[in-house]
Amino acid sequence: MIVVPFFSAWHAPLVEAALSAGGEECRVLAAGGEEVVRAGLETVNNDACYAALLAAGRTVGFLREGAAAGAALTGCGACLPKQRMQAQPAAVRPRVDSAHGEAAQPMAEKPLDPLADPVAGPLRVAVPTPCVRCRGDDAPYLLAQALAASGLEARASVISGTDALEALAADARAAARLADALAFGDALLQARLRVRPYTRPADEPVFDALLAASSARACRALAANAFVLEGSLRAFGAALAGFGLSERDGRPIVGVVGAAPAVFDERMNAGLVACIEREGCEAALPYLLPLAAAALREKGAAAPLHAALDERCRVLQRHAGACLRCPTVQDLERAGTEVVPRFLVQGAGWTIAGSALLFVRAGVRDLVYARAFGCLAGHVVGQGAIKPLRTWCAADGVDANIATIEVDPGTSEVNQVNRIKLMTAVAKRAAARRRSNP
């Protein structure tokens, strides 16, 4: 079994289904509460990369849960509790509607149980390293140290996510499945961000069920190796049209930029999207596809996967609908290098400035830069891009409101929330001013 501690709960089930379709069982771990942070702090120095700390916490928690379940099984012969059920490929593949990429029959489910079979052998943990040439590259080493500190080193070996993707990219079908999974995860997330803030409370459960059903169908099709991205996007677009898209009501749109874990990991950024929405604003996140493709390109790794990701960016452009347009890596690079030099690739590099500038050009005037406390690469290439970005906006006559939110396991969430409240209050005043003086 391969285990992947991941940073986006929206993409995780789709990635899990795509990787499991290759024949090896896979678990993608993205959820987690305070216990994940505690497990990470117990086993990793708190000065380490926050994303690496969370990867360690998720993996250690998963293995501890499996060890406890295995001990209970050995001691009493009882069945394992059905906790955190996840869809897995059934013994007989379901019939799939190839036009829409949807399974016609439900998949079988089984409990999440990594160590129920004591002779199954050690797990392999593939640690994603989405940043370039920064201390996030230490994540595999830190996770190995965390497993040793927890007495779990015999149960799992650690491999770099980049090395794992290199191996995966050698199989064209596997690379295509993973690219499709990330693309559809992006489509779901962008639809959620665009529609949910304008949905009436009575209709919110209906919309949430629509998203959940679309994700489940895609997972079943990916696991059956029969997913069709274009067909699935058309079917999802038709479902959204049937639900009904509300017009924007003039509330501010707050774009979030930063390294991928700080943007997408709700544990890491303390529910930043939910906080922005509670303050009466619409949150906008970048697409993960071009960020992942840019990281692979700068690392010089998994070229076939990078090409597949870039191709899916163009597919999403054709199906954006009312959502923000998905840029390609080239779009992101052109925008970023208008603000910062091309050689700034450390951490998230020029993708931060590129995402911010593309947001501004799409009409998003309020931006949050989410960065991990103590991240030198983020401070230089992210925080350092804010001043030239403001200069660019002023020269172009754009009234931009940009704030930095620091995320850290030791940072008070109250301070983060207060910072967001202040930023959104400024955004609302600016939006009202723009409405009165178009």
Task: Let me know if residue 335 belongs to a domain.
Answer: yes
130, 296 Cβ separation under 8 angstroms: no
Which pLDDT does position 53 carry in this prediction? 93
Q: Going residue by residue through the chain (438 aa), what tens digit of pLDDT does each one get?
A: 999 999 999 999 999 999 999 888 999 999 778 899 999 999 998 788 999 999 999 999 999 987 665 554 344 433 333 333 333 333 333 334 444 444 333 333 334 443 334 334 568 999 999 999 888 889 999 999 999 999 999 999 999 999 999 999 999 999 999 999 999 999 999 999 999 999 999 999 999 999 999 999 999 999 999 999 999 999 999 999 988 878 888 899 999 999 999 999 999 998 999 999 999 999 999 999 999 999 999 999 999 999 999 999 999 999 988 899 999 999 999 999 999 999 988 899 999 999 999 999 999 999 999 988 778 788 788 888 888 999 988 888 888 889 999 888 877 778 888 888 998 998 888 888 877 776
Q: Are residues 259 and 390 in the same domain?
A: yes
Q: Are residues 158 and 38 in the same domain?
A: yes
Measure the CA–CA gap between 339 and 353, rounded to whole angstroms.
6
Which pLDDT does position 24 carry in this prediction? 87
List phi, psi (to 5°) of 123: -85, 160
Which pLDDT does position 438 carry in this prediction? 60
Q: Are residues 158 and 281 in the same domain?
A: no
Q: Are residues 387 and 279 in the same domain?
A: yes
The number of CA neighbours under 13 Å toward the Cβ of 52 is: 27
Instruction: Give how far Cα 389 sits from Cα of 177, 340, 380, 397, Å.
Output: 36, 9, 14, 12
The 8-class DSSP code of residue 379 comes to I
Measure the CA–CA gap between 371 and 7, rounded to whole angstroms.
14
Residue matched to tokens 């017009």: 247
Task: Let me know if residue 24 belongs to a domain.
Answer: no
Measure the CA–CA gap between 330 and 302, rounded to whole angstroms.
18
Sign of the C-alpha dihedral computed for residues 39, 43, 47 and 53 taken in this order = negative
Task: Let me know if residue 202 belongs to a domain.
Answer: no
Q: Are residues 272 and 402 in the same domain?
A: yes
Q: Are residues 130 and 279 in the same domain?
A: no
pTM assigned to the model? 0.87
Q: Are residues 273 and 404 in the same domain?
A: yes
Task: Let me know if residue 403 belongs to a domain.
Answer: yes
The 8-class DSSP code of residue 7 comes to S
Last residue of a domain, one of 147, 169, 191: 169
Last residue of a domain, one of 169, 204, 233: 169
Q: Which helix (DSSP H) or strand (DSSP E) does residue 354 occupy?
A: helix 350-361
Domain count, the chain: 2
Helix, strand, coil proportions of the chain in percent (round to 5)? 55, 10, 35
At 397 the three-state DSSP class reads coil
Task: Let me know if residue 127 belongs to a domain.
Answer: yes
Task: Let me know if residue 349 belongs to a domain.
Answer: yes
Task: Let me know if residue 192 belongs to a domain.
Answer: no
CATH number at residue 347: 3.40.50
Give Cα 291 distance to the centre of its chain. 10
Q: Are residues 126 and 259 in the same domain?
A: no
Which domain does 377 fall in, by range? 251-287+327-436
Task: Let me know if residue 395 belongs to a domain.
Answer: yes
Q: Are residues 161 and 270 in the same domain?
A: no
Q: Are residues 139 and 259 in the same domain?
A: no
Q: Are residues 264 and 164 in the same domain?
A: no
Q: Are residues 424 and 276 in the same domain?
A: yes
